Amino acid sequence: MSVEPNWIKPALRRGETIVGIMVSELKTPMLGAMLDAAGLHFAIIDQEHGAYGADALGAIVAGFRGGRCRPLVRVPDTRREYFLTPLELGAAGIVVPRVESRTQAEEVVKFGRYAPQGDRGLSLMRAHTGFRRVDKDSYLAKANDDIVLIAQIETRQAVERLDEILSTPGIDMAFIGPSDLSLSCGTSSSLRDPAMRGLVDTIVAAAKRHGVFVGIQTYDLAIAAELAAQGIGLVSCNTDANALLSTLSGNVAELRRLLGGRVSAGL
Ligand code: 3PY
Ligand code: MG
């Protein structure tokens, strides 16, 4: 938890859909304010595929303070130090790629929650407490409740072990990564493909069995709406790179349609 209100799990419990973006390229500290102004509910700042070191992450996460849009951080791997820095910078949750076993899911909880649920290291007067003197016991209990711990389900092995992963106490959400899942399972990555939809259905059913939320990454808004109706509460509906490229290439195409050959073909 940061001292910022972490309203993600309460909204999901009310059955609301929360909408956000995966950010892997942009590094401006204004990002949080921009995404908040766009009406997004969360951003996943991606340290798996994106090149964000601790310094860049610190500036970016700080830029979300005061808004409703909440910063989640996708860490590169399941390691203690990868969790500690984003959480103490004030991340509202941690997304862990390629969770494939009970042991790994237990490590996610160990690194992401304070004792007794986990074994997160303690340092209180930092960004996650707003540098305030907090009452330790109530802060730790609230942080343990508020932080969203998200296990990515994106390999065949993870699908085969859904029950052991999603029954791990302290895991809040299964996040479906269609790209890696398709590669691992030999299907299309399109959520319109029946084989991929079958995998999604299997994951959603397991999540329901174990009372955990489900999230997904997709650009396909019609499918996102279908999946939301099916119970997928967290939808990451774009990436920073795609949002820029699709808008700008569309602008060029539209001007070419309006102006024809007057728009330069380049060198
Ligand atoms: C995937 O599709 O593999 C993801 O990790 C989503 O970002
Ligand atoms: Mg992936």
C-alpha 195 – ligand 2 centre gap (Å)? 18
Residue 229's identity, in one-letter code, is A
Kindly list the structural domains of the chain, giving each domain's residue range(s) and its CATH number in brackets, ordered by start. 8-262 (3.20.20.60)
DSSP letter string, the chain = --SS---HHHHHHTT--EEEEEESS---TTHHHHHHHTT-SEEEEESSSS---HHHHHHHHHTTTTSSSEEEEE-SSS-HHHHHHHHHHT-SEEEES---SHHHHHHHHHHHS-TTT-------SSGGGTT----HHHHHHHHHHH-EEEEEE-SHHHHHTHHHHHTSTT--EEEE-HHHHHHHHTS-S-TTSHHHHHHHHHHHHHHHHHT-EEEEE-S-HHHHHHHHHHT--EEEEEEHHHHHHHHHHHHHHHHHHHHGGGS----
Cα 143 from Cα 226, distance rounded (Å): 32
pLDDT in tens, 160-199: 999 999 999 999 999 999 999 999 999 999 999 999 999 9
Span 73-96, average pLDDT: 97
Q: Which ligand 1 atom is nearest residue 217's CA? A: 6
pLDDT above 50 for 214: yes
Position 5 scores a pLDDT of 86
178 CA to middle of ligand 1, Å? 6
Residue 152 pLDDT more than 60?
yes
What residues does ligand 1 touch, defined as CB less than 6 Å away?
22, 152, 154, 177-180, 217
Region 96-114: mean pLDDT is 98
Distance 154 CA to ligand 2 centre (A): 6
What pLDDT is stored for residue 2 in this prediction?
Answer: 46
Q: What is the pTM of this model?
A: 0.96
Task: Please state the φ and ψ torsions of residue 24, each to the nearest 5 degrees.
Answer: -125, -10
The rounded distance, in Å, linking the Cα atoms of 66 and 186 is: 43
Q: Which amino acid is at 94?
A: I
Give me the pLDDT at residue 93, please.
98
Q: pLDDT by residue (tens digit) across 229-261?
A: 999 999 999 999 999 999 999 999 999 999 999
Please check the confidence at residue 1 and state whether its pLDDT lies above 60: no
